[in-house]
Structure 1
Amino acid sequence: MFRASIRSAIETAVRQAQGEGAVPQVSVPNFSVAAPERAGQGDYASNIAMTLAKAAGAKPMDIATLLVERLRQHELVGAVEAAAPGFLNIAIKPEAVGQSLVAVLRDGIATGYEAFKDKKISVEFTDPNPFKEFHIGHLYTNTVGESLARIFEAAGATAKRANYQGDVGLHVAKAIWGMRRNLDESGASLQDLVAKPLIERARFLGSAYAAGAKAYEADESAKADINELNKKIYALDPEIRELYAQGRAWSLEYFEAIYRRLGMQFDFYYFERDVGPIGQKIVEEHIADGIFEKSDGAVIFPGDRYGLHRRVFINSAGLPTYEAKELGLAFKKYEDFRFDAAYVVTGSEITDYFKVLLTALGKIDADLAAKIRHVPHGMVRLPQGKMSSRTGDVIRAEDLLADMRGRVEQRIAEAAHESRGGKNLAECIAVGAVKYSFLRVGIGKDIIFDADTSLSVEGDSGPYLQYTYARLKSILRKVGGAASEHASAGVMDGVEHRLALAALRFDEAVADAAQGLAPNVIVNYCSQLAQLANEFYHSHPVVQEPDEGKRALRTTLVAVAAQSLARGLHLLGIEAPEEM
């Protein structure tokens, strides 16, 4: 809330010093304004004197001292000092903090960020393949993509969520082959499966794909059959049409059940069957101009000309590959939603693939390619022995969530008290624990997911944040009445001041997270806010505070902290329970 004003005050002070001849007339270099890492260094610290000194050929402490004199005149600055080797440590006036608390309690914190204001942003993520399992990797991608979309919205953009799914291709042919074999061996019919619960139908598809994938590698006859099925799937041959349509529908229904469980929904759905012809046409149109070239019956992009890999865009069977389909997808997404920027969230293992794709797209439409950015994330790994997959190789998302929910229910039972939220609260905590663990590190890093650690209520976990929020809401219920009725901007001590500033910095966290594509910034913000809120809780009574003025101030502080924590949890896709 205060950072932008402090930055502006510093820039004004520099211009004043330059106008008076105290500082050389050089362009003001980029500088930082941030909350200091240690207590006792003010509310904000800036390196402006060091960056300016380098450009001006002066001593950092000399410039810092000059700026201190001018910053003291600013209406928000309560105290400012120069600290070696040239930092400015700035404290906000206590009355400004108090007045801001009251204003935020009334109006909320505005989080618009100029770089995102009124921008249209497409975020593509999750991208599961029908006929295959929705595994832990899809869950991770979904968590990251949804959080980014919410952060962009909080920063002032209009964000649309897109999901691109592979409903044609060799994996589908393998699944159809497996469906046929499994039905023949069991003596069941497709109609028998229709009557079964959705989860059983999803399991059937998963086992069918596994059977087809195994046969494709081990049996030449099966491989030939599957390759032939692949052609029939593209052509929607009557021989496989019913199996294909039913399996596809079951998969999509299964995916939607997971999205509902995660508390999100998509704006656009795209399928390889639809964008493949678009991409193939684009590739064929750009053979003559040399962007693509024919090679051994296929059509390739000569990536080696640009220091990349050569990749096939139309195979020797005349079918579009993933690369060609992705080209078609780019144009289709832009046709449906004229975005200013588009982000595609996937695992980092296909980074090189995207480099080729975007280079090829850039040769066709440089403006469109410039709008698209690949956001690669790391892998989710599990500590040895902590959890095993029931299918052997792939950990399904619903198995992970079920395991986490079971752990939560067990802990509630062991605590010998009844959960007021029942099974819904256990689900809320389980999902929150998983999402927090996925988002707590930078997107590009691998994650070690530990179920026990993720469920801790002692700190650095989703349940810890949820518990803190529920504790704050409990205080407000005990105080009674609307929090705004108690609004006060009284004098604060050190603990209250630190909590107030943390609660008021929500907009700064949003700006940093949006600019850096970094949900972990929101995680860190919420974690620090929760730690300060719990320190306050243990040392500062609210309901039992006899002094009416202090009680009013602390109620205001609790209400604003709860508001900021709830909004932060929302950006992470984590539900904020009123009771816990």
Structure 2
Amino acid sequence: MVYEKLRDLTEEATRKSGFEAVNFTVEHPANLELGDYASNIALVLGKKNGQNPMDVAEKIAEVLRQVEDNSLSRIEVASPGFINFFLSKEFFSKSLKNILEDKQFGKNENLKGKKVIVEYTDPNPFKEFHIGHLMSNSIGESISRLIEWNGAEAKRACYQGDVGLHVAKAVWGAVKNKESGIKNQEWGKCYTEGAKAYKENDTAKKEIEEINKKIYDRSDEEINKLYNEGRKESLEYFETIYKKLDTKFDFYFFESESGPFGKKIVLENKGGIFEESEGAIIFRGEKYDNSLHTRVFINSDGLPTYEAKELGLAKIKYEKYPYDMSVVITGNEVNEYFRVLLVAMSLVFPELAEKTKHISHGMLRLPSGKMSSRTGEVISAESLILELKNAVKDKFKETRRDSDDKLAEEVAVGALKYSILKQAAGKDVVFDIGKSISLDGDSGPYLQYTKARINSVLEKCRSLGIESSANGGQNFEIERVVYIFPEVVERASTEFSPHYILNYLVEVASRFNAFYAQNTIADKNDPESPHKAAIAQAVGQILESGLHLLAIPSPHNM
């Protein structure tokens, strides 16, 4: 990539200028008037050596100007000491041609030969697939695709809590209501009733804890029947949501599998890594790091906790798929638990701990606040998507566009995923339905509409016999951003941060729409039309690839 070449040239020029090697950056200025790339090397050297950065920059720039490279048009020095690089017309023409010839422009092989397993979404049977799961799914699916675009084999995994107190609470609710043939939403109501009773009624609490033991040891026929029905119903329902979100998992893991195995591992390491305390088995994290705390791995009832199950899961995953990296995506409410877990894992399975990358995300909130299934105020993913679909249909009516159900759902999913992915994963997202479906520039539908507009323009070009050509007589500003796509893909993958892709696509779409407003692209009497069509084709190709990486649908027409 060109920035790598510019970095090498700058290092060489710095050496020839008599300066020592230092760490520096070569980045894109926020303002294109200041160049296509800028380096801060003179600022770093000036501070280190007590010299005027402008003098240092001029000295290095003078050496750089002597380099014969047709990808550069000029090099300038700007206050307080930046070296600014301006790329040439030849470079932009060649880049445009490369994009048109490479339908997978932006892919690289940085992770070629690597095997990566990405665990995300993780809804629990017997409970609603709620809006929080949409956060994990959107982030995890995009990260999986980014890893694939960087050359690795990515396997998608979903880990689900099919045992535990939440299941016992739901089964207790079903037993009390003497219900059978319960559907997923009704299981959610049973869970809510059980959760409330567990908190407020000591007798119910004991009954639920007894049911929990029976679920683990499979000792009660009636409980087994209800449990089997609920688990099957929940998992089948979850598949309908995954389909809407364009996710297809390679592996499904369950706590009923990881729990017993995790318990076995803890017991095998009792007296060394783990110790007994008040009938439970614990791990004293503070022994290894003062910022950690003690966590229970097997409770006083002899049941494995979240931490023990996760410990077992790491090994089960590796035995199923010998990975080079395991990416685990969770809500940030388990950050401290996970820190303790990774230390314990480093002692039990050191090679797996080194391969594990934990990414946490914030909460998805509506303007009214966080939604929780513990209080019965949960908003399901399905209901939110439906509400968005209806809002999209109403929006289309305002603009006199017809909207079939499939298109409305694609736009709704795009609006939702955009809202989740537009910022770094660790932050909470306040989701506003009205803003999410706006076509004014900060939304998924805006990107989708821009891509659909390009499809329409290119169809008109074809009808007029205009063929795309990268050999134009002039350069347009939009050409100064399209070639950057591979850099953005690489950074987003390296930092596990899809928001870099999204923010880049918004900039590309914005600049294209400005270009579209100022130029007639499909004009057979304009000698520049083939070049303009090539620009539209390149932008459309990048938008399509970028939307794919974000797992946002790209409707052909809108």
Could you state the TM-score of these two structures normalised by the residue count of structure 1?
0.91
Equivalent residue for 2:529, pick from 537, 551, 566? 551
Alignment of 1:78-117 (within 5 A): 78-108=73-103, 110-112=105-107, 115-117=110-112
Alignment of 1:206-355 (within 5 A): 206-237=188-219, 238-288=221-271, 290-305=272-287, 306-307=289-290, 308-355=292-339
Change over 3 Å in CA distance of 1:39–1:502 after alignment to 2: closer
Alignment of 1:515-554 (within 5 A): 515-544=494-523, 546-548=525-527, 550-554=528-532
Which amino acid is the alignment partner of residue 519 of structure 1?
A: P
Alignment of 1:168-567 (within 5 A): 168-182=163-177, 184=178, 189-190=180-181, 193=182, 201-237=183-219, 238-288=221-271, 290-305=272-287, 306-307=289-290, 308-384=292-368, 392-419=376-403, 422-480=404-462, 485-493=467-475, 496=476, 498-544=477-523, 546-548=525-527, 550-567=528-545
Contact conserved, 2:466 with 2:524, CA < 8 A, in 1?
Answer: no
CA shift at 1:55, angstroms?
4.5
CA shift at 1:418, angstroms?
2.0
CA shift at 1:56, angstroms?
5.1
Change over 3 Å in CA distance of 1:377–1:360 after alignment to 2: same
CA shift at 1:178, angstroms?
1.0
Question: What is residue 196 of structure 1 aligned with on the other side?
Answer: none
Q: Report the Cα distance in structure 2 between the residues aligned to 1:312 and 1:483, rounded to whole angstroms.
A: 71
CA shift at 1:566, angstroms?
0.9
CA shift at 1:414, angstroms?
2.7
CA shift at 1:482, angstroms?
12
For residues 167-206 of structure 1, what are the alpha-carbon distances to aligned partners after superposition, in whole Å with 9 as ceiling and x for unaligned? 0111111111111222x2xxx543xx5xxxxxxx111110
Q: Report the Cα distance in structure 2 between the residues aligned to 1:336 and 1:210, rounded to whole angstroms.
A: 35
- Report the secondary structure of 1:273's partner residue: helix
Change over 3 Å in CA distance of 1:499–1:326 after alignment to 2: same
Question: What is residue 8 of structure 1 aligned with on the other side?
Answer: 8
Question: What is residue 62 of structure 2 aligned with on the other side?
Answer: 69
Q: Report the Cα distance in structure 2 between the residues aligned to 1:275 and 1:484, rounded to whole angstroms.
A: 60
CA shift at 1:30, angstroms?
2.5
CA shift at 1:446, angstroms?
1.3
- Report the secondary structure of 2:423's partner residue: coil
Q: Report the Cα distance in structure 2 between the residues aligned to 1:136 and 1:174, rounded to whole angstroms.
A: 21
Q: Report the Cα distance in structure 2 between the residues aligned to 1:328 and 1:567, rounded to whole angstroms.
A: 37
- Report the secondary structure of 1:543's partner residue: coil
Which amino acid is the alignment partner of residue 6 of structure 1?
A: L
Q: Report the Cα distance in structure 1 between the residues aligned to 2:185 and 2:550, rounded to whole angstroms.
A: 30
Which amino acid is the alignment partner of residue 532 of structure 2?
A: R
Which amino acid is the alignment partner of residue 312 of structure 2?
A: G
Q: Report the Cα distance in structure 2 between the residues aligned to 1:523 and 1:443, rounded to whole angstroms.
A: 13
- Report the secondary structure of 2:34's partner residue: coil
Identity among equivalent positions (%) equals 47
Contact conserved, 2:162 with 2:254, CA < 8 A, in 1?
Answer: yes
- Report the secondary structure of 1:335's partner residue: helix
For residues 205-243 of structure 1, what are the alpha-carbon distances to aligned partners after superposition, in whole Å with 9 as ceiling and x for unaligned? 101111111111222222211111111101122232111
Which amino acid is the alignment partner of residue 545 of structure 2?
A: R
CA RMSD between the two structures: 2.2
CA shift at 1:51, angstroms?
2.3
Question: What is residue 152 of structure 1 aligned with on the other side?
Answer: 147
Contact conserved, 1:435 with 1:574, CA < 8 A, in 2?
Answer: yes
Number of aligned residue pairs = 552
Q: Report the Cα distance in structure 2 between the residues aligned to 1:532 and 1:273, rounded to whole angstroms.
A: 52
For the pair 1:133 / 2:128, whether they are aligned, the reply is: yes
- Report the secondary structure of 1:410's partner residue: helix
Could you state the TM-score of these two structures normalised by the residue count of structure 2?
0.94
Q: Report the Cα distance in structure 1 between the residues aligned to 2:376 and 2:4, rounded to whole angstroms.
A: 52
Which amino acid is the alignment partner of residue 163 of structure 1?
A: C
Contact conserved, 2:100 with 2:534, CA < 8 A, in 1?
Answer: yes
Q: Report the Cα distance in structure 2 between the residues aligned to 1:157 and 1:265, rounded to whole angstroms.
A: 17
For the pair 1:166 / 2:161, whether they are aligned, the reply is: yes
Q: Report the Cα distance in structure 1 between the residues aligned to 2:501 and 2:240, rounded to whole angstroms.
A: 27
CA shift at 1:39, angstroms?
3.1
Q: Report the Cα distance in structure 2 between the residues aligned to 1:264 and 1:118, rounded to whole angstroms.
A: 23
For residues 67-99 of structure 1, what are the alpha-carbon distances to aligned partners after superposition, in whole Å with 9 as ceiling and x for unaligned? 322333223111111111111111111111112
CA shift at 1:535, angstroms?
0.3
CA shift at 1:117, angstroms?
3.6
Question: What is residue 550 of structure 2 aligned with on the other side?
Answer: 572
Change over 3 Å in CA distance of 1:295–1:258 after alignment to 2: same
- Report the secondary structure of 2:142's partner residue: helix
Which amino acid is the alignment partner of residue 375 of structure 1?
A: I
Q: Report the Cα distance in structure 2 between the residues aligned to 1:484 and 1:206, rounded to whole angstroms.
A: 57
Which amino acid is the alignment partner of residue 551 of structure 1?
A: S
Q: Report the Cα distance in structure 2 between the residues aligned to 1:577 and 1:151, rounded to whole angstroms.
A: 21
Contact conserved, 1:348 with 1:376, CA < 8 A, in 2?
Answer: yes
Contact conserved, 2:293 with 2:340, CA < 8 A, in 1?
Answer: yes
CA shift at 1:392, angstroms?
4.9
- Report the secondary structure of 1:339's partner residue: coil
Change over 3 Å in CA distance of 1:356–1:176 after alignment to 2: same
Q: Report the Cα distance in structure 2 between the residues aligned to 1:63 and 1:444, rounded to whole angstroms.
A: 40
Change over 3 Å in CA distance of 1:387–1:543 after alignment to 2: farther
For residues 4-47 of structure 1, what are the alpha-carbon distances to aligned partners after superposition, in whole Å with 9 as ceiling and x for unaligned? 232233233334x1xxxx323x2x32322222111310111111
Is there any run of 5+ residues in structure 1 with no aligned partner, and where?
194-200
Contact conserved, 2:371 with 2:378, CA < 8 A, in 1?
Answer: no
Question: What is residue 113 of structure 2 aligned with on the other side?
Answer: 118
